[in-house]
């Protein structure tokens, strides 16, 4: 994997002139338009935007699930543009954890098996993996649900397991896409409080896409996507 020594070491994630367009029946639609941004290690970023504004697209580009039409994504001094699809997959397995709105737990696996899966993909198994599962279940307050299947859990419990799954392999970066969008306000607040506590304690970099302004209070920095542009918090008063 080629390195980019010219990257400022204080920047952990760097977006350079990032543009993403999609071809539609009536032409091309630009979702993200020449975005430049630097994110430092350990920052908690809130990404605001209405549905369809490009929040999920930006997370997909930062993770290497998708590639930009123009520009460059650099994560941990690594240009994702220069990697093959397989290399990007391996990069994600090691360095990135995902939290989704609809939990995305595998229904045919127990909680324990869902948590073991990312460890197994990274070559970790045996007693140490079991210990990691029990430790993270205690962290999210569900040590007694290891043998339960996802459909036996409440929405809030499922999202706490999803947080545990995102963190269990100790990635550097957590990407959360509307993690409270499928929860009621009180349950969502509890889930966010757990996520905030764990991310701060483990000094992870978190980027959380949401349409909810109530989450601004936990952020180090707040951005909004407007008409394809990334706008930082100082200019969000009219959002």
Query: Is 6 part of any domain?
Result: no
Pairing type for strands 13-24 and 70-75 reads antiparallel
Distance of CA 39 to the CA centre of its chain: 14
Round to whole Å and give the CA distance between 129 and 6: 37
Name the strand (E) or helix (H) holding 7.
none
**Would you say residue 15 lies in a domain?**
no
**Model-level pTM greater than 0.95?**
no
In a domain, 196, yes or no: yes
pLDDT attached to residue 234? 58
Tokens matching residue 238: 């009219």
Q: What is the pLDDT, as a whole number, of residue 219? A: 92
Say if CB 97 and CB 171 are below 8 A apart.
yes
Q: How far apart are CA 76 and CA 12, in angstroms?
A: 5
* 109 occurs within a structural domain: yes
Residue 95 lies in a domain: yes
Which pLDDT score is estimated for 18?
95
Total tally of structural domains belonging to the chain: 1
Q: Which residues of the chain have pLDDT under 70?
A: 1-11, 234-239
Asked whether residue 238 is assigned to any structural domain, the reply reads no
How far apart are alpha carbons 233 and 62 in whole angstroms? 20
- How would you class 92 by CB atoms within 10 Å of its CB: exposed for 0-12, middle for 13-18, buried for 19 or more? buried
Instruction: Extract the tokens encoding 156.
Output: 């809030």
The per-residue pLDDT for 11 is 59
Q: What is the CATH number of the domain that holds 125?
A: 3.40.50.300
Q: Which residue has the tokens 């607040």?
A: 189
In a domain? residue 110: yes
Instruction: Give the containing element (helix H, strand E) for 59.
Output: helix 55-63
**Residue 129 domain boundaries:** 43-66+83-233
Token pair 């959360």 in the structure block, residue: 176
- What's the token pair of residue 48? 């605001």
- Helix axis angle, 111-121 to 127-139, nearest 10°: 120
Question: 156 lies in a domain?
Answer: yes
CA-to-CA distance for 47 and 104, rounded, in angstroms? 21
User: H/E element holding 82?
Assistant: none
């Amino acid at each position: 994997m080629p390195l980019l020594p010219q990257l400022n070491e204080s920047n952990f994630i760097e977006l350079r002139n990032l543009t993403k367009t999609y071809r539609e029946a009536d032409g091309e639609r630009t979702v993200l338009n020449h975005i430049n941004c630097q994110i430092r290690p350990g920052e908690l970023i809130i990404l605001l935007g209405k549905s369809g504004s490009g929040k999920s697209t930006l997370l997909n580009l930062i993770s290497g699930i998708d590639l930009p039409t123009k520009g460059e994504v650099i994560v941990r001094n690594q240009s994702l543009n220069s990697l093959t699809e397989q290399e990007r997959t391996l990069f994600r397995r090691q360095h990135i954890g995902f939290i989704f709105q609809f939990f995305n737990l595998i229904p045919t696996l127990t909680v324990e098996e869902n948590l073991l899966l990312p460890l197994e993909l990274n070559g970790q198994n045996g007693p140490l993996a079991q210990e990691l599962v029990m430790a993270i279940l205690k962290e999210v307050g569900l040590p007694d649900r290891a043998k339960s299947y996802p459909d036996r859990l409440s929405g809030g419990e499922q999202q706490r397991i999803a947080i545990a799954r995102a963190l269990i392999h100790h990635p550097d970066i957590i990407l959360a896409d509307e993690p409270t969008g499928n929860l009621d306000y009180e349950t969502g607040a509890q889930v966010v409080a757990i996520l905030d506590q764990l991310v701060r304690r483990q000094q992870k970099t978190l980027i959380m896409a949401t349409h909810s302004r109530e989450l601004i209070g936990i952020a180090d920095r707040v951005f909004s996507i407007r008409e394809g542009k990334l706008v930082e918090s100082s200019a969000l008063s009219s959002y």
